[in-house]
Structure 1
Amino acid sequence: MDRREVADMARDWSAALVDCGGVPTSLPRVEQLTTWIVELDVAMSAEPFDPSPAYRVGVEMVRWKLTDPALMTPSATVLAGLLERSQRPDSTRRFGALLGELGRGYSAELLKVHADSREVADQRFRVVFDNAAVAIALYDSNGITLEANRTTARMVGMKPEELPGVAGLDLMHPEDRDKLQQVVVDLYQRRYGTVHFEGRFCRPDGTVCWGAWTMTLVRGAGGRDLRLLAVGEDITERRAMERKLWWQARHDPLTGLPNRHCLLEQLEAIVATAGPADHIGLCFLDLDEFKLINDRYGHRAGDSVLAEVGRRLDATMTSPAVTVTRIGGDEFVALLAPPCDEEAAHAAAETMLATLREPVPVGPTDLLAMSASIGAVVAPVAGANAEKLLNDADVGLYRAKAAGRGTWVLHRDESSRAAE
């Protein structure tokens, strides 16, 4: 962020604090808010990532008497500008971690401040605890819930009064329980420090959600027993967005088929786990004279043809060992996972060509006869190079193009053969 953006955000933060009401007379000057914003902005882009500056900001907010929990919501809203301006691919995760540390520092400092006056401390902490925008829960050394605020209850789909006495692990998804237990055991063995954990939890209505937690050990009454303080947030929407972005990065938006990036990832995964005798197959399909379709009917019609070709190939090549991908333009590739031989490649190529023999609708009334050429390759997997496998199939494709429409060629290092 440049100086002007930081200054604008600081003024917005100050105005938001005033508009919220209940602001103490020691309202931080814009200069102080600017300092906090700069610290958080630097932490957002730091390598390696360290969210601890946000903890210090949370502490300082309390020291400036910003102890009304209602102030946390407008503060988080203004600070969300850091996320909007970030260009990092992991900015959402980092911002979530910063908010968690901010809440943790805020809560921890309130505990210290309120310790000076137990009666006042209990009243103020209860207000902050119950109304905090972040989830806060306290567990004993056996993982049993001692206290949990309203946000925690909303996250797990329960009422606040139902949580005390419930084992934290019982709320987790069965596949994540062992991981969480190991994280907590390691923390108790060290007897100090802070850990971060992301995992799924199961609500009573059957829905599965994601939570991100920052956990630290605190002393119980009398300073004897260690308690686990967890500050968290619901990251279900963030996880869903990450899954959506992951899918979009690996799939063709026109056909919905896996794209070149996904194909190369699958090839590399197969190569990494293949046995010494395993073989893999690729069938590289290219539509014959597809450019003429775009020239005659337009690109919208061309896209419609490509979508139909992708649909047919995906519907026809149904074997779990076959993955149909679109790697660009009018090029489609069928990946034949081990075990594969020339007979399997032959069958796959013939099936792909047969799929296109039925005319494809173009426009409201026209039917277009389609054909394609295919270059195929069957090669040992161990030690193979994904790009070379694609290149070998491409060589076969060019030979098939030279042999005429609707043919396929199996590429070998020493020779190739065509099949009608």
Structure 2
Amino acid sequence: MAPMQWQYWEIELNNLALELNNSQELSTVNYANFMCGSVQPEFNFNYVSLFSSAGISDFGLRLLGGTCLAACELDANRRLVHEANISGKVFSDIREDKNKLVEYVLSQGKTLDLIFATPPCQSFSTANSRRGKLKDTHSASSDPRNFLFFEALEICGKLKPKFIVIENVPNFGRRLLRNEHGTVGHVEEFIDVILGNYIGQTFVKCVSEFGVPQSRKRSFSIYIRKDVARSKNIHSKDIEFFAFNKPRNFPENIMDAIGHLPSLDSKSKDTNTYPKDIFHHVPVLSDKHYSWIANIPANSGKSAWMNSCEHCGSAATPMFEIKCSSCGNEIKVRPHIIENNGSTRSIKGFRTSYKRIHPDGLSSAITTNTNAFSSDNKLHPSQNRVLSVRECMLIQSIPDTFIWPEQIFYKSMHLVREMVGEALPPLVAYCLLKKLLLL
């Protein structure tokens, strides 16, 4: 073949590769559109949501085109929020209502594409007081929440959806349990056995792999009904290595996600709230606690445990020590307690407490106690405060169109913070299901 022909085909191949890349790029959702809730539904599918909490992760399924046939949520406040945003009948206690839920869904006479389950995770979490006891079946038996996923698996067996997604903390699959028949096994082993008509895998991914600006690892158990898997030539080993496309123009760091919001300050009620957004609000701190945060250099990513001495300016004193190694005075701008006898001692804590998030990095995991300034790596990168409720929503990829009923606005938004912190980011649910539906 002549050199000119080689050059021609090389150009054509390059153009084809570019077209394929552009096609893939355009097939992903635009992050800004997702956060505005203005994306056009790409699919039409039915699902059941178990342990739906406030329906936050379900909102991602709704934006993708999902219709919730039924859901299950024990807490009345969370049911209220779910019902304000997601269609379908909502049941309460899964242990008492599972048969009613199954009968109701079957009575609809509709194809069920998905069961999406997010069982309570507190007893599996490494932040829980029972951490380190993943192999202790006696410890597991003391917390009934450890066994709620069995109820979800029973519902899956009766409804037989095409896809099953179970989301939890990273330790979920490795937890060792003893079931009611005395059989001992890891959670992922029980799932494999009970879902005998499915192929699947349990694996761990960080939500940042889906375009969420947050460092938060989660366990995903994804199962595909065998007849569906055969028709798509999918094997169990393939599932763990699914590639999930991030949205276009996703935030690269925390400031990309929240940097556009007005400044707040936790010094007083005159500065802690943005009047045009009820969710852009932070708690007011005492003068003592405020001084700990205000003395952390802005955008440093440092902790108040490292604050310089306010008397001589030295930063040489080791972390967790109060007496300045240079001038001998007590460093009162570091976390401390004054005892009844007047002496001062350092507060015991983790290196990541009282710490600013670095502006060039991702947010740390949004949890249920984001209003606590002593919490793990939760201080604003440059402003003297914790993250606002609105910022937590943005970091969790909760769209602006998500509805929060006024009945739950009390205790300085603490209940809203809890719901936001315990949710799987909606963008993750969106990307997970889009991948399955595109198979």
Q: Please tell me the TM-score bracket, short chain as reference.
A: under 0.3
- Structure 1 or 2, whichever has the larger Rg, is 1
**Structure with more of its chain in strand, by fraction:** 1
